[in-house]
Structure formats: structure tokens, C-alpha cells
Amino acid sequence: MGTFLIALLCGIVGLVGGFFAGAFIGMPIAAATHMSTFEGAAGYFAVFLCGPIGGIVGLVLGVWLALRRCGGPKSFFALLAYSGLSLGAIVAVSAGVIMLLLFFDETLNRNASKPQALFEIRLPPGTKLPDNRRGIEVELNTDKNSTSAYFDKESHSDGDRPVISGGVELAFRTSRRILLLKIEGEPDRLFMLKLPGRPGRSDDFGPWQRVDYLADAGDQPRKATPADQFEIRYRPRDPNVEFSRPIIAFELSLPAALPLPDDLNSIVVTAEEARNDMNGAIDAESIHRENDRVMIGGTVQLASDKHSLIAISVPNQPTRVFEIRLAPHTWITETIRYATTSPADNTRTYGPWQNVGFIHEPGHKEPRPAKAEDDAKFRYMLR
């Protein structure tokens, strides 16, 4: 047992020293191979690939030295056994410490973007919202904090029922969350959010839920009745997941006769999936003519890991919608490619052209399937 503890201690020292040595050696390797430094790709290679390799080598070397010093077994199989046991013990203890820290940590996504609760509050039929939602506030109250919500820029309606939409940050792990709707001159309306302490994420809103309590100024809250026709639905959002999704570069091919706006920034590109949407951008320098077509290029981050609808809106024209499907776990292979490939070595090309899938006409709520005369083509590649 004493030999193992000494081997474990030396293995830990070797692991730490080897990690830093491997990361240090990895930087000149990245430079010599002209690895991309965009967004720290070369650093990721050194820290997350060379560093762990160096750590394993250092651990084995530390165990070997310990066995020689302590007069322990010196066979190759003994070295493998002691190294494996040491590594297993280090991993088990580290995992236990991390789990304990996470278990007792009540702050969600520490050192990262906080999760949010995106909500829609549906008001009674015939309700008139004031301009700019003046006199309306929404806040989240928990047993750990209170925070104000933000509103989406544009309001919308569900039939004759106005809908207030927005979001609020979920900073702490707690299951006691109350969303408070305050309208000037009216009692406060309390909605009990049925979210777990760690809310996770969802791309879809849950079902509509009636208001739970009403509270006049200075009075205790009272149970809402069926006559209180205020309803809410919500979903948890994790920005860290959304902004790690794949990014594509695309080309849109249109007939040359179609007019383009002078201000190319007026062309709107959006990736949509369920209730997620991500805004893209048009590359002005990519626009050119090829045969009898106009080619427009740009980039956009997908709204889901495996599927997105790409909506491209040119002023005074219907919105063209294209469908993208990716293989499962594409983000894993793309992360590896991104970290190990420099821009000079990137040989990726655009995929095949695909026809427009749907057309969203101005003034129509739902898109229609594209027809043969809807002449638009789209191709893309993962960036």
C-alpha cells in the first residue's frame, strides 16, 4: 500500500508537469504546421491535445521513478498496472470533488452565460396594449433573488388576444420561481414557473398555463379564478448551447432579372427551428453574376444541431425558405476539424444545389410549398 501511495504521489507530480510540458511543446508544433489561430484554434490544439498526451507520459514516468526508488516491482506489466491504478484514482477523486462542488453550487452556469426562461403571456380577448408597453413590467422572484425581465422588440397577437413576449435570466438553482406581471392600475398577476432547479433547455414552449395568484398592493395574494384570463407559456433556453451550433457559408442563386436592393443589409437571413432563430449576414463582396444568374453569398449559424430552415428575405419579394439536415453529432467532427485544420489547408467546397422548399408570401401567415416557377437555388458548406 505504501508503494502505491508513493507511486500515486509521483504520478500526480508527473501528470501536472507533463501536462504543462506537452502544452508548451504543442505551441511550436502548431506554428510549424501553420495551424489556424482563429478564435484560439492553435491554443486548443496545444492545451487539449498536446497537454493531455504530455500528462499521460509524465504520469507513467513519475510512477516508473517511484517504483525504482522504492524497490517495487520493475516489470513492464507492473508499471502499466501501477500507472493505470494511479490514473484511475486521480480521475475518481477529481470527479468526486467536481460533483461535490456542483452539488453545493447554487449558481447556474458559473463563468458562462446564464440560462433564461423565455415566456409568452397571453392577455384576455380585446385587451389593448399601450404604446411601447408603457406601464407594464415583468419580473422574476425566487427565494434567492429578484430580477427584471426584458421584452422582445415586437409585440404580436394570438387572434384577438395580445401577447407579451420576452425573457428573464435564471441565475440560481431553485425550484421556487414566480413570474410577476405588473400592469399599472391593476393587481399583480403571479405565475408559478414549473421548472426544475437546473432547468436544462427546450426548443419548444410548454402548454399554456393560467395565472395562479392575484395580489393587490399591500394585500396577501389570492387564488385566481377562471374569470382571470391571463395565461403564460415558457421554455428554458441555454445560450451556451445555441451559440456552439454549426455555422454555414451559403450561396443563393436567383434569376438575373430579379432586382436587388441598393442596401444589401436590407436582405434578411434567418435560421429557424422550433422557437429558435439565429440571424445571418450577406457578404457584399460575394455578389456576382454567373451565366444568367445572380449569386449571393453569406453566413448564418444554424438554429439546431441537426435541422434548420434558412429563410432569406429580399425586400419586395417573397421570403424563400430552404431546409438543411445534418448528420447526428456533426458538431463533434466539426470541432475536431476546426481545431486541426488551418485556413490554407481547408479544401471544403459547397455541396450540391437544392431547390427552394417553401415560399412565404407577404400578408400570409403560413408558407406554401414552392412551385416550379419559384426559381431559386441554394447550396452550403460547414464553415
Q: What CATH code is assigned to 116-238? A: 2.60.40
pLDDT at 343: 57
- Determine the average pLDDT of the residues in 112-121: 91
Q: Could you report how far apart the first and last alpha carbons of the chain are, in Å?
A: 53
- Find the Cα–Cα–Cα–Cα dihedral 78, 80, 84, 90, rounded to 10°: 80
pLDDT at 127: 87
Strands (DSSP E) along 216-306, which ranges? 222-223, 231-237, 247-255, 268-273, 276-279, 281-290, 293-301
Evaluate if residue 352 carries a pLDDT over 90. yes
- List the single range of 11-15, 334-338, 371-375 with lowest mean pLDDT: 334-338
3-state class (DSSP) for residue 232: strand
pLDDT at 145: 92
The string of pLDDT tens digits covering residues 5-19 is: 888 888 888 888 888
pLDDT at 39: 62
Average pLDDT value over all residues in the chain: 86
The string of pLDDT tens digits covering residues 254-279 is: 998 888 888 888 999 999 987 788 89
Separation of alpha carbons 188 and 181, rounded Å: 6
Q: Among the ranges 45-59, 89-103, 170-184, which has the highest mean pLDDT value?
A: 170-184
Evaluate if residue 170 carries a pLDDT over 90. yes
Evaluate if residue 344 carries a pLDDT over 60. no
Top pLDDT among 45 and 348 is at: 45
Evaluate if residue 159 carries a pLDDT over 70. yes
Evaluate if residue 43 carries a pLDDT over 70. yes
Rounded to two decimals, what is the model's pTM? 0.63
The C-alpha cell that represents 187 in the structure block: 393587481
| Cα–Cα distances in angstroms (integers) from residue 131 to residues 39, 120, 134, 154, 326, in the given order | 43, 18, 6, 11, 43
| Cα–Cα distances in angstroms (integers) from residue 148 to residues 13, 81, 120, 177, 317, in the given order | 48, 57, 15, 13, 39
- Read off the DSSP letter of residue 373: T
State the pLDDT confidence band at 331, using cuts at 50, 70 and 90.
low
- Find the Cα–Cα–Cα–Cα dihedral 310, 365, 239, 329, rounded to 10°: -40
State the pLDDT confidence band at 342, using cuts at 50, 70 and 90.
low
Contact between residue 62 and residue 14 where contact means Cβ atoms under 8 Å apart: yes
- Determine the average pLDDT of the residues in 38-55: 81
- Determine the average pLDDT of the residues in 87-93: 87
Domain ranges for the chain, please list them.
2-104, 116-238, 244-382
The string of pLDDT tens digits covering residues 293-323 is: 999 999 999 988 888 999 999 998 999 999 9
pLDDT at 252: 94
Separation of alpha carbons 90 and 86, rounded Å: 6
pLDDT at 187: 92
Which DSSP string corresponds to 174-213?
-S-EEEEEEETTS-EEEEEE---SS----SS----EE--E
The string of pLDDT tens digits covering residues 118-147 is: 999 999 998 888 777 888 999 999 999 999
pLDDT at 206: 92
Polymer length of the chain: 383
Question: Which among 127, 118, 117, 116 has a CA at the least distance from the CA of 230?
Answer: 127
Contact between residue 276 and residue 344 where contact means Cβ atoms under 8 Å apart: no
pLDDT at 133: 80
pLDDT at 335: 65
Displacement of CA 254 from its chain's centroid (Å): 32
